[in-house]
Amino acid sequence: MDVSSLVWSTVAVALTLAVGALSLTLGDYRIPLPLVLDTLSGQGTLILNDIVLNGRLPRVLVGIGVGTAFGVSGAIFQRLARNPLVSPDLIGVNAGAALAAVLMITVLGSGWIPGGALLGSLLAATAVYLLAYRDGVSGYRLVLVGIGVTAIIGSVTAYLLTLADIYTAKSASQWLAGSLAGRSWSHAVLIGVALVILLPAAVAGARQLRLLELGDDLARTLAGRVELSRGLLILVGVALAALATAAAGPIAFVALVAPQLARRLVAERVAGLLMAGALGALLVVASDLVARQILAPTQLPVGIVTAFLGAPYLLILMARANRIGSGG
């Protein structure tokens, strides 16, 4: 890791922590900073413990976790497809999770949503992968099949929303928009464990793929191993996006935007992967703070804010990517 990477990632992590700390002090229940610190050091009242330790803290941690996961997952896919527009959202992961979650909210009315969402996204991603498989998997076929599968799943999801009563439809819509509301320690643990296992795998996979690709002649003889590394990286990318979606719903555009920003700050690819994670975390935590405060006491799902931040950037990105000829 070179010096500039180190500086930028330190800045990103520091900013994330600062915004996270700020999030702990802001909310509908006013708690002065000293009291927040007391509570963090274990001297809070029952209610303060509940609000800070069981409410705001896990929410911030889930935000950091899913932001990191989306960022890294996005970086993996953009790296493999060599296209800035290819993101895990497009290959069925979100749609599958969404269908499962809406099914649980509206029809079954029960169950641990992250579990169902995880199952749904893995099933959908597997279906997309199998449908796209034809003597190997090309990045584009994967994405295009993903668009098709997403459309089928999306129409079933929309139908389920029409069956529910309006309150249930609203909480399902909120989940669909991507939200950190009401996230507890179980969600934080889920995404935390996922990162502990998958981040090293992502880094190792990316490093190995890079080594393999460096020597052209060598790589040709090692074509099988390149395919294998690619397959493993896809698996890690899907798992990261699926687990993040399971914990917080499909938060839009983080996986698209974070790796792009990272690439502009850090040239080296493996470091860029981690940088994308750091920026994803910052993006989600900061957006959630905005989402909670901008219309308070009405709260917006964080996904709406990331969409509004990410969308214009995406447009510029698409135009630029196509102009330099990397858009396909």
Partner 1 sequence: MRWRAAGLLLCVAVLAVSVLLSLSVGNQYFGAHDVYLALADFSGSDNDRVIRYLRMPRTGAGLLAGAALGLAGALMQGVTRNPLADPGILGVNAGAALAVVGAIGVLGVSSLTGYVWFAMGGALVATVVVYLVGAIGRGGATPVKLALAGAAISALLGSVTSAITLLDLSTLNEFRFWVVGSLTLATGSVIGQAVPFIAVGIVLALVLGRSLNQLALGDELARSLGTRVMVVRVAAGLAVVVLAGTATAIAGPIGFLGLAVPHVARTLVGADYRWILPWSMVLAPAVLLLADVVGRLVARPDELQVGIITAVIGAPVFIALVRRRRLAAL
Partner 2 sequence: MLRKSVLPVLLLGLLAGCGTSTAAGPPGSTITVKNCGIDVTVSGPPKRVFAAYQPAIEMAHALGISDRLVGTAYLDAEVLPEYASAQSKAKYYKNLPSREELLAANPDFVLSGFNDVFSAGGGSDESFGSRKSLAELGVQTWIFSPLCPTADGKGDEAIDPASVTMDNVYADLRGLGTLFGVEDRAEQVIADQEKRIAAVEAKVKNAPRPTVAILRPGLEGGALTVSGGPDFGTVLIKQAGGVNAFTDLTSKRNVKIGVEELIKRNPDYLLISGCCDAALTAASSQAEVDKILANPAFQNLKAVRNKHVVPWLFANHSAGVRGAYTTEDIAKTIHPDLFK
Question: Under the rule (CB under 8 A), what is the footprint of partner 1?
Answer: 83, 85-86, 89-90, 131-132, 134, 140-141, 143-145, 147-149, 151-152, 154-156, 158-159, 161-163, 166, 169-170, 173-174, 176-177, 252-253, 256, 295, 298, 300-301, 303-304, 307-308, 311, 314-315, 318-319, 321-325, 327-328
End-to-end CA distance of the chain, in Å? 30
Nearer to partner 1, 90 or 101 (CB): 90
When the beta carbons of 19 and 176 are compared against partner 2, the nearer one is 176
Identify what 55 binds: partner 2, partner 1, none; CB under 5 to 8 Å per kind.
partner 2
**56: which DSSP letter?**
I
Q: Are 277 and 74 in contact (CB under 8 A)?
A: no
Give the CB-side neighbour count of residue 61, counting CA atoms within 13 A: 19
- Minimum CB separation of residue 305 from partner 1 in Å reads 9
User: Which of partner 2, partner 1, none lies near 327, with the C-beta cut-off 5 to 8 A by kind?
Assistant: partner 1
Identity of the residue, 143 or 266, whose beta carbon is nearer to partner 1 in the bound complex:
143
For partner 2, give the closer residue by CB, 117 or 281: 117
Give the nearest distance from C-beta 175 to partner 1 in angstroms: 11
Positions touching partner 2 (CB under 8 A) are 27-30, 46-47, 50-51, 54-55, 104-111, 113, 162-163, 165, 167-168, 170-172, 174-175, 179, 181-183, 249, 297-299, 301
Nearest to 256 by CA among 297, 215, 306, 208: 306
Q: Which two tokens stand for residue 9?
A: 């990632």
* Cβ–Cβ under 8 Å, residues 141 and 134: yes
Between CA 218 and CA 283 the distance in angstroms is 40
CB contact at 8 A, 191 and 66: yes
Q: In this complex, which beta carbon is closest to partner 1, that of residue 155 or of residue 184?
A: 155
Task: Indicate the residue among 211 and 295 with the shorter CB distance to partner 1.
Answer: 295
Alpha-carbon distance of 174 to 303, in angstroms, equals: 9
Alpha carbon distance 97, 10 (integer Å): 33
The binder of 108, among partner 1, partner 2, none, by C-beta within 5 to 8 A per type, is partner 2
Residue 214 binding partner per list partner 1, partner 2, none, with a CB distance cut-off of 5 to 8 Å that depends on partner kind: none
Q: Which is nearer to partner 1, 5 or 94 (CB)?
A: 94
Given partner 2, partner 1, none, residue 46, with its beta carbon under 5 to 8 Å by kind, binds: partner 2
Q: Which does 294 bind (CB under 5 to 8 A by kind): partner 2, partner 1, none?
A: none
CB 63 within 8 A of CB 52: no
41 binds, among partner 2, partner 1, none (CB under 5 to 8 A by kind): none
Tokens at 43, concatenated = 């001297």
The tokens for 50 are: 């509940």
* Residue 119 to residues 161, 162, 305, Cα–Cα distance (Å): 20, 23, 27
Closest Cα partner for 124 from 142, 140, 112? Answer: 142
